[in-house]
Structure 1
Amino acid sequence: MAGGSYDTINRIFDTFAVTSRSRYVFVYDMEKNISRWSLNAVDYFGLTGEYVYNASTVWDNRIHPDDRENYNEYLTAVYAGKKVNPNIEYRAKNKNGEYVVCSCRGVVIKDYAGKPVFYACSIINKGIVDNNDPITLLPNHYEMLNHMRQLKLQKKIYAILMITFIDFGDINRRYGYSIGNNILRATAKKLIAECADRGKVYRGEGTTLAVITDTMDIDEIKKFYGVMRAFTREALAINGKKVGAEIGGGVILAADFEVDEHSIYTSAKYALEFSKTQRHGNLIIFHNDELDNKKSNIDLVDAVRNSVINGMDGFYLEYQPIVSSVDGRLVGMEVFVRWQKEPFGAVSPSEFVPWLEQDQVFYNLGNWILENALKDCLEIRMNKKDFYLCVNLAFMQLERSEFRTTLIDILRKTGYPATGLCLELTQSSRQLSMEHLKSQVEFLKSCGVRIGLDVTDFASLDYVRHLPIDLVNIVPALTDGIDKNMTNKYVIETITSFTHRLHIRTCFTGIEDEETAQIARQYPVSDLMGYFYGRPCRIDDFKKLELYRK
């Protein structure tokens, strides 16, 4: 059954088969009326097997009678190629006879003649949502957001403290996942004991734990965090064995009742990430000069976040040219997102992207950037067949399996050739497990897309060992002042020698003058980028560049 005439449906299924406890996948063969389902869906919905005959009728019978007509109208429109919202919700009956809410997102796959032949779909079971984390038994971050919403409605000023282990992956590697879970439980138990009646403890996303308090002031929270830091360093023991671990912490005081709770949550996560990566675990207070960013305040967070929700209002794109190191001709460009809105004026992406990456809405912004950049670049690509566009991939895009169908939709909608697109992995991608990242990258490669990697140090090159990287960007942090910094010079020599021997295309960025350009050409790099060749500009201005006209 799994081979022969079912090879095509199997290949398509394998492409989309990223599942979890509450996420299912199926692929439907329209001509044969056969579908293949992920095993977790077979088990949960009580299907006859992984392959289902007379598939349309079998699944139709499981949909709630009140939702069936709307569901069939939706599928008819999708199969006909009409523009509809890619998401639809309906109720479906599980093997116990209970109806659960399912969120469905699918894509139609056509043959060479443009005829729809397959329908690939990802289903999220919204009925499997437990309000408590099974490991720590703490209420989850959805409950935390509800609590924050209630405090806002009651006009109560409160603080949210978030803590996480700086390198929990190392703990899992050293002691195993079972011990890792025990450490989370012990830390959660300590938080509850220290809080007593002063606040409520929650399990956030990943290994994050959080405390919401409307009684402790900032000084008390600082002392509280000091106690927790000492506990994880000195007193944390599992099965009588001392396990020293460092934590990071971020806190925000919520005193503006006009600000959305999601914006407050995002700001707290940004402060936490800053503590982990920039301050070695010292407590970071959002709204504080330690963030090295006077515009990083909750009003800005809320305004930018609302701009995403309101159809990307205030966002626009700029492009910077990439040239050949051999003859200086234009070979590509990289896209940069910008935001401008009163009373903030023009705000640099360095001031909003780092914390917006912590928010779920960044997924929508990342997809908007990708789609609009492809539209802008299409004409250039049609005239220059070797031209490529670089787009940074957001952590949220890589994290979600549905990005696969979204990417296919965008490529089909824009008509941009996948071979002219380079999707770049940034520092934030390190938050993902290598197994998940490898699965996503292999899918992107199967679509014909190139994969780029921002290299900031030797550790970044470890990704080249595990992933099929096509392009390496040597970032300005390494190239800046290379004529005076001997350490960076030797690092770049090593990196470029490494990529050259592996036949990986390499771009030397941050070039601001002829002297740096000459230095860059001494290395085995293929591409150059920097203000010397052109500053980021709107697409209409890009097409006026002398580089482009040549």
Structure 2
Amino acid sequence: MSLSAFFRWLERHFRNTALMILFLAALNLGVYVLVLATGGIKYVYSHSMYIPILLAGFIFGARGGVLAGLAGGVVLGPFMPIETATGEPQLLLNWVYRTGLFTLIGLFNGVAVEMLRLQLRENEWLARHDPFTRLPNRVALMEYIEASGREGGVAGTTSSALFAVFAENLMEVGATFGVRISDEIMVQMHDRLLSLFPHGTPVFSPQPRELSVILPCRGPDEAREEMDRISAAMKEPFVLPDMSLHVEAVTGCVMLEKNGEDGHSVLRKADIAAHTAGRKGEESLLYDSELDGTIAENLEMLGALKGAMEKGELLLHYQPKVSMGDGRVVGAESLLRWMHPVRGLVYPGSFVPQAEKSNLMNALTEWVVNAALDQVVRWREEGIILSLAVNVSARDLTSPRFGEMILEALTRRGLDGESLELEITESAIMEDPQQAIELLKRFSDVRVVISIDDFGTGYSSLQYLSRFPATVIKVDQSFVRNLRSDDGARHIIDAAVRLAHALGMEVVVEGVESEETFEMLREMGCDIAQGYGVSPPLSEEDFRGWFFSRAMNG
């Protein structure tokens, strides 16, 4: 039994005042009999009175210690002779002094014990609450799940669900406005959840940026309804002094098993559902056992990625770009592949999204840039004079080493900037437009080709677009795919072509799958085509053969 548990036991069994008085009276009477029987106050047994005084202070605190001290002083005072054999009484000053000493000892002991109890209660509270938001934490949640399992469910029900609400952009809010603002948002999110559910429903904060609540649910359909309610509540802006902020909240849910599943396992499943929902761009998701395998596989792939770079398991394929005017091959896009020793050829969609959320993305981009430029050098030795395009992520643009890495890679190989094209999405640029513009101007100064990738799908501002040192706009393939059936897609491509040409840029269209589509886009004024209608991505050897075959056939 812990000390805290022992104190709680004492408080339950000795909180009655009458019981306290009887207990102290019995102890004092016992000491009185002992001292009297052993010869009187002059003998050592009189010190045994400290036992009930200290015990009373320990059990009842300062009040009990003081009362025990006063009672002990009186018991061993006028009613106790110095020596029973002679019957000599004590001097008044002696027993008054002794009474005062007993009282002080009882007081100090009781105060010390009360301070200890207070500290233990505070430690227990801190163990179950976040000290900054003051919200119940993971320990409290685990205890609640365990208690609910013992009692047969939440609120007397036999079926319930755990909901995990994750604030995806709260770290960004904290970095921008300070952690006190992010803490305040967590408190407001907590209050909103409390307002949605019956009074007394506890809401927990098991980890930073996450809230959890357990609700009675009869099945998955009811759980989805609750998730919709939670998502709707989190969409409202959070009002703070001098500002209102939006929080990107995702919700994961797992139905609780009737066999009393371990709380940590339950929370892990809800977290998996929430993080999967965020990765898919959804507001909420109900846990399914298949998610376990997907998450584990993604983490395993990410863990093996660094080793793959060192072991030479990564490689590039190249998808050609051709001029729509004369059919010349004008470049190619470098597409990353992973020759996994177990899974075989793995495409970037299986590992790049996870890498973009980690520091591995910078190392991965550096590997691709160096591999692409090495390829440029090898091809030039064979008479293939082409630039290669490399995709750049938002994490790359914010890396302090990225600019130097690009320039050093070109200088080390004696290549000019036109040998390399950087494809950057609108959304990546718009995360920090000013910083992106300054970095891209450095590249433009050495004639590195800047291409705005997936144009039309992001949220760039025309004000910034005119300032970007880009020379290429790459129209997203989703518009090309619907070209023949969607008038809106044709108008968007036409507008993009006019805008690009007005700004002195070339237009690349990706996703060109047929000769008919090629001709339509050429007539609309597009400059360069890329897609399976031109060529699928090719290995180094296949690209070499394709290039020389095309050159020979005119």
Which residue type is aligned with residue 376 of structure 1?
A: Q
Instruction: Give the alignment's Cα RMSD to 1 decimal.
Output: 4.7
1:343 deviates by 4.5
Partner-residue secondary structure (3-state), 1:419: helix
**8 Å Cα contact 2:298-2:350 kept in structure 1:** no
1:424 aligned onto 2:428? no
Hey, what does 2:188 align to over in structure 1?
A: 190
Which residue type is aligned with residue 296 of structure 2?
A: D
Could you state the TM-score of these two structures normalised by the residue count of structure 2?
Answer: 0.56
Structure-1 separation of matches of 2:336 and 2:508: 20
**8 Å Cα contact 1:507-1:528 kept in structure 2:** yes
Greater helix fraction, Structure 1 or Structure 2: 2
**8 Å Cα contact 1:456-1:477 kept in structure 2:** no
Which residue type is aligned with residue 190 of structure 1?
A: Q
Which residue type is aligned with residue 187 of structure 2?
A: K
**Structure 1 range deviating more: 489-498 or 186-195:** 186-195
Deviation sequence 1:199-241 (CA, Å, 0-9, x none): 4332xxxxxx345999999989989966764544458433599
Hey, what does 1:162 align to over in structure 2?
A: 166
Structure-2 separation of matches of 1:213 and 1:340: 43
Hey, what does 1:393 align to over in structure 2?
A: 392
Hey, what does 1:274 align to over in structure 2?
A: 280
**8 Å Cα contact 2:427-2:460 kept in structure 1:** no
**8 Å Cα contact 2:276-2:285 kept in structure 1:** no
Hey, what does 1:126 align to over in structure 2?
A: none
Hey, what does 1:283 align to over in structure 2?
A: 284
Partner-residue secondary structure (3-state), 1:371: helix
**8 Å Cα contact 2:376-2:419 kept in structure 1:** no
Hey, what does 2:104 align to over in structure 1?
A: none
**8 Å Cα contact 1:319-1:336 kept in structure 2:** yes
Structure-2 separation of matches of 1:269 and 1:368: 28
1:367 deviates by 1.1
1:362 deviates by 1.5
Structure-2 separation of matches of 1:250 and 1:384: 56
1:127-138 equivalences under 5 Å are: none
Distance 1:309 1:245, change over 3 A: same
1:201 aligned onto 2:202? no
Distance 1:197 1:470, change over 3 A: same
Structure-1 separation of matches of 2:350 and 2:273: 12
1:242-321 equivalences under 5 Å are: 245=246, 247-249=248-250, 251=252, 271-275=277-281, 279=282, 282-284=283-285, 297-312=294-309, 314-321=313-320
**Structure 1 range deviating more: 228-237 or 358-367:** 228-237
1:529 deviates by 1.2
1:124-523 equivalences under 5 Å are: 162-164=166-168, 184-191=182-189, 198-202=204-208, 209-210=209-210, 229-234=231-236, 236-239=238-241, 245=246, 247-249=248-250, 251=252, 271-275=277-281, 279=282, 282-284=283-285, 297-312=294-309, 314-341=313-340, 343-381=342-380, 387-430=386-429, 432-454=431-453, 455-457=455-457, 459-460=459-460, 462=462, 463-523=464-524
Structure-1 separation of matches of 2:336 and 2:307: 16
Q: Unaligned stretches of 5+ in structure 1? A: 1-135, 145-157, 203-208, 256-263
**8 Å Cα contact 1:163-1:272 kept in structure 2:** no
Which residue type is aligned with residue 367 of structure 1?
A: E
**8 Å Cα contact 2:273-2:285 kept in structure 1:** no
Q: Unaligned stretches of 5+ in structure 2? A: 1-130, 139-161, 195-201, 255-260, 262-269
Which residue type is aligned with residue 539 of structure 1?
A: E
Structure-2 separation of matches of 1:284 and 1:430: 30
Deviation sequence 1:71-100 (CA, Å, 0-9, x none): xxxxxxxxxxxxxxxxxxxxxxxxxxxxxx
1:345 deviates by 3.8
Structure-2 separation of matches of 1:266 and 1:409: 41
1:65-80 equivalences under 5 Å are: none
**8 Å Cα contact 2:334-2:372 kept in structure 1:** yes
Greater strand fraction, Structure 1 or Structure 2: 1
Structure-2 separation of matches of 1:306 and 1:265: 20
Deviation sequence 1:353-378 (CA, Å, 0-9, x none): 33332222121111111110111122
Hey, what does 1:547 align to over in structure 2?
A: 550
Aligned residues: 373
**8 Å Cα contact 2:302-2:351 kept in structure 1:** no
Higher-Rg structure is 2
Hey, what does 2:99 align to over in structure 1?
A: none
Structure-1 separation of matches of 2:307 and 2:507: 38
Structure-1 separation of matches of 2:417 and 2:512: 28
**8 Å Cα contact 1:333-1:389 kept in structure 2:** yes
Structure-2 separation of matches of 1:483 and 1:221: 42
Hey, what does 1:78 align to over in structure 2?
A: none
Could you state the TM-score of these two structures normalised by the residue count of structure 1?
Answer: 0.56
Which residue type is aligned with residue 166 of structure 2?
A: M
Deviation sequence 1:489-516 (CA, Å, 0-9, x none): 1111111011112220111221112111
Identity %: 18
Structure-1 separation of matches of 2:430 and 2:207: 24
